[in-house]
């Protein structure tokens, strides 16, 4: 389990103007439940964190 940095958590939370399962999955590749964990500052699975960080990196490069 991994705690995301506050910077990454803020980026994800600010990037989800529409908080539906489909919107969160399309944008970040995570479930709505994972988004809620991030919002509460709880740890998420390492594999999910890796996928999320890869998506964020792809957005920042593009």
Q: DSSP assignment of 4-56, as one string?
A: PPHHHHHHHHHT-SS--HHHHHHHHS--HHHHHHHHHT--B-HHHHHHHHHHH
Does 11 fall in a domain?
yes
pLDDT at 57: 92
What angle, 0 to 180 degrees and rounded to 10, lies between the N-to-C axes of helices 6-14 and 46-61?
70
Would residue 23 count as lying in a domain? Answer: yes
- pLDDT tens-digit readout, 3-51: 999 999 999 999 888 888 999 999 999 999 999 999 999 999 999 999 9
Q: Per the domain annotation, does 1 fall within a domain? A: no
Banded model confidence at residue 54, pLDDT cuts 50, 70, 90:
very high
User: Global pTM?
Assistant: 0.85
- How many domains does the chain divide into? 1
Confirm whether 48 is domain-assigned.
Answer: yes
Euclidean distance between the first and the last CA atom of the chain, given in angstroms as a whole number: 29
Residue 20 in any domain: the answer is: yes
Whether 38 is covered by a domain: the verdict is: yes
Domain coverage including residue 52: 6-61
């Amino acid at each position: 389990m991994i705690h995301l940095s506050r910077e990454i958590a803020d980026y994800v939370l600010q990037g989800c103007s529409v908080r539906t399962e489909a919107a969160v999955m399309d944008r970040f590749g995570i479930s709505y439940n994972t988004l809620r964990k991030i919002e509460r500052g709880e740890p998420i699975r390492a594999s999910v964190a890796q996928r999320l960080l890869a998506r964020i990196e792809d957005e920042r490069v593009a």
